[in-house]
Structure 1
């Protein structure tokens, strides 16, 4: 019965670990559960089966863990789960090309460094030189660098 319990714990740990590694994003409860099952299986083996049984269980745990990762990575299962679509679309920057230094406009969102503004009838993404600017603040374009429109509060 002890060997059956140890085998179930190791198999459960490997399945949960593979799910954590390849399906569930990030470090979550599944990862901790897998580590807990594996550690408890080895602890159980050392306490119930003695030193020899514990060392055999430890060796089986390591071989099964590494072997399952290698097998899963070589199997076609991972290919079925992986995304194969390339994104080749680009952001439409035609509105930004019509903006020139000195143009005026009004911020349409709060500029917490970056936000949106209406300049020459186009809504474009802008970056504030002055820091934070509230929505509907009159602005003026001061610089355009690498496609980034830098604006500041318009002074009368």
Structure 2
């Protein structure tokens, strides 16, 4: 019966250890529970089976933890859990391509440095160079850097 209890604790510790490493990020209940299970399994072995049984349990628990980690990393299970999708979408900035330096428009939202302005019926995201601007403030395009439209108060 003692060996069954120790085996159950080691198996629980290994499962919780793998859950901690690969499913739940950070130090969580699973990691703490795994540590408690493995420590109690070794304590129980030393207390009930003696020094020889305790050292054998200690070696088996270390091999079980390391072996399960190596096995799990080599198995296809980790590949099935991992994200393999690449993001290929791009931001639609076709309206911003029509905007030129010197175009005049009106803020449609408050520019808390970044907001939206309307130029010839096209609403685009803009960045203020004059600080905060209220909505419905007339603006003019000062410059365009890497797709960012910089405006100032007209």
Kept in 2: contact 1:99–1:119 (CA 8 A)? no
> Could you tell me whether the CA contact under 8 Å between 2:107 and 2:117 is conserved in 1?
yes
* C-alpha distance in structure 2 between counterparts of 1:132 and 1:56, whole Å: 71
Task: Find the residue that maps to 1:105 and give its secondary structure.
Answer: strand
Query: Number of paired residues?
Result: 151
- SS of the residue corresponding to residue 55 of structure 1 reads helix
Structure 1 residues 101 and 48: CA distance shift in structure 2, 3 A: farther
Higher strand share: 1
Question: How far has the Cα of 1:106 moved from its partner?
Answer: 0.9
| C-alpha RMSD of the superposition | 2.8
Structure 2: 5+ residue stretches without partners: none
Deviation at 1:82, TM superposition (A): 2.6
Contact 2:117 2:126 (8 Å CA) reproduced: no
Give the stretch that moved more between structures: 38-47 or 71-80: 38-47
Post-superposition Cα deviations, 1:27-76, rounded to whole Å, max 9, x if no partner, equal 43222222222222223333333433333222222211111111112222
Distance in 1, matches of 2:113 and 2:46, equals 59
- Structure 2 CA distance for partners of 1:148 and 1:31, relative to 1, 3 Å: farther
Q: Distance in 2 between matches of 1:35 and 1:13?
A: 7
Query: Which of 21-30 and 84-93 deviates more?
Result: 21-30
TM-score, length of structure 1 as denominator length:
0.74
Q: For residues 118 and 61 of structure 1, do their structure 2 counterparts lie closer, same or farther at Cα, with a shift above 3 Å needed?
A: same
Residue segments in structure 1 that go unaligned for 5+ positions in a row: none
Cα distance change of structure 1 residues 90 and 56 upon mapping to structure 2, 3 Å threshold: same
Secondary structure, aligned partner of 1:126: strand
Q: 1:143 to 1:42 in 2, by over 3 A?
A: farther
TM-score, scaled relative to structure 2: 0.75
Contact between 2:46 and 2:55, CA under 8 Å: does it hold in 1? yes
- Report the equivalent of 2:107: 106
Partner of 2:56: 56
What does residue range 5-154 of structure 1 map to in structure 2 within 5 Å? 5-103=5-103, 104-108=105-109, 111-114=111-114, 116-120=115-119, 121-129=121-129, 136=135, 138=137, 139-152=139-152, 154=153
Q: Look at both structures and tell me which one has the larger radius of gyration over its CA atoms.
A: 2
